[in-house]
Amino acid sequence: MKRRLLLISNSTNFGEAYLGWPRDFIKDFMFPTGVKDILFVPYAGVGLDEQSLEKSFDAYEQRVQGVFSELGLNIYSIHKEANSVEAVEKAEAIAVGGGNTFHLVAMMHETGIMDAIRKRVHEGAHYMGWSAGSNVACPALKTTNDMPITEPSSFDCLNLVPFQINPHYLDANPEGHGGETREQRIEEFLTVNRNMTVVGLREASLLWVEDDKIELKGKKPMRLFKFGQEPRELEVGSDIGFLL
């Protein structure tokens, strides 16, 4: 299957600049392509400006452009395009930012770009996403950590990979917190969705997908969950093509 994906767990590590840790990976991902202009999807960024969603999206575009310009790349945001689907159809590269996954998925269905992006990636467009942007590359949004601030018409997502990602995966709850651990939440998901695999993608980690090959990159191992099996740890650099 034709696809080229960079699926990043998180944008920012504590004490670091925005998109600090994955910058070299983004550069390495884009540099060989010769593509400089990247269509940006900002719809997960709902809280960057209290006045309106439009201004939040403007602020998000500016924030990402500030980083990408240092890498010799240019961002143009889909929220400013007259026809969202046509913009996707013409895009050579697409970046989907993090934030609230429910709002992102709702807007992607509402604008018609969910199907358009899937088709365009399979035609050869390069795709990168962080946090919510990596979650929507999966079959569904069901392993997001986010609050359902709006109701999408469907939980279905891009299905660019046949497994689920839990971004920002944490191994334990904060001290004194009495709720379920992230592992317990994923086990709940697998009890209902028994044929699905879930990747717990820790912060400062990403998945690099080239057609039917996939590699874990970054600083931390990932945790792999399947129903009825003990979770497995897979180290950075592992060939995890069996997931595809």
- Coil vs helix vs strand at 31: helix
Q: What is the pLDDT of residues 7-28, one digit of tens each?
A: 999 999 988 999 999 999 999 9
Q: Are 14 and 218 in contact, with CB atoms under 8 Å apart? A: no
- The pTM (predicted TM-score) of the whole model is 0.95
The pLDDT of residue 171 = 86
The pLDDT of residue 152 = 98
One-letter amino acid for residue 137 of the chain: A
The pLDDT of residue 72 = 96
The pLDDT of residue 178 = 64
Which residues does the chain have with pLDDT short of 70? 174, 176-178
The pLDDT of residue 209 = 97
The pLDDT of residue 177 = 67
Q: Are 123 and 2 in contact, with CB atoms under 8 Å apart? A: yes
Q: What is the largest CA-CA distance in the chain?
A: 50
User: What topology does CATH give the domain 4-171+198-224+235-243?
Assistant: Rossmann fold (3.40.50)
The pLDDT of residue 237 = 87
Q: Are 19 and 67 in contact, with CB atoms under 8 Å apart? A: yes
- For residues 78 and 87, give the distance between their C-alpha atoms in angstroms, rounded to a whole number: 7
- For residues 156 and 95, give the distance between their C-alpha atoms in angstroms, rounded to a whole number: 19
Residue 57: HSE in the Cβ half-sphere, 13 Å Cα cutoff: 18
Catalytic positions are: 131, 146, 168
Joined together, the tokens standing for residue 242 give 């069996």
Q: Are 168 and 188 in contact, with CB atoms under 8 Å apart? A: no
- For residues 19 and 36, give the distance between their C-alpha atoms in angstroms, rounded to a whole number: 18
CA 67 to chain centre: 17
Joined together, the tokens standing for residue 56 give 């939040």
SS (H, E, C) 126-178: EEEEECHHHHCCCCECCCCCCCCCCCCCCCECCCCCCCEEEECCCCCCCCCCC
